[in-house]
């Protein structure tokens, strides 16, 4: 598991939230995406986060992005796959 890669991808998700909204991400899902991305973004700085917790956030975030299916969402979901070997 590449914690630095997860942090980079999560930060990209957070920066891309306005684009994801344009791709169809709606109110409740915005909060879920932000929550999972924030958890991954701070993980490298947390004190010994459990690998299962990181994978859980990655799987949930990837599922939300994949369901959205826009070009930015798809690119970010693939980046999570690359970081975790396959987050799905």
Reduced 3-state DSSP string for the chain: CCHHHHHHHHHHHHHCHHHHHHCCCCHHHHHHHHHHHHHHHHHHHCCCCCHHHHHHHHHHHHHHHHHHCCHHHHHHHHHHHHHHCCCC
Look up the pTM and report it: 0.86
- pLDDT for residue 48: 63
Average pLDDT, the chain: 87
Asked whether residue 76 carries a pLDDT value surpassing 90, the answer given is yes
**Top-confidence residue, 30 or 6:** 30
pLDDT grade for 44, boundaries at 50, 70 and 90: low
* Average pLDDT of the segment spanning 13-27: 96
């Amino acid at each position: 598991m590449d914690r630095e890669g997860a942090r980079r991808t999560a930060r990209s998700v957070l920066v891309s939230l306005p684009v994801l909204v344009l791709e169809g991400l709606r109110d409740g899902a915005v909060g879920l995406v932000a929550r999972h991305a924030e958890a991954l973004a701070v993980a490298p700085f947390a004190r010994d986060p459990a690998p299962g917790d990181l994978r859980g956030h990655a799987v949930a975030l990837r599922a939300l992005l994949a369901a959205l299916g826009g070009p930015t969402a798809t690119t970010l979901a693939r980046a999570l796959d690359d970081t975790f070997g396959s987050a799905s």
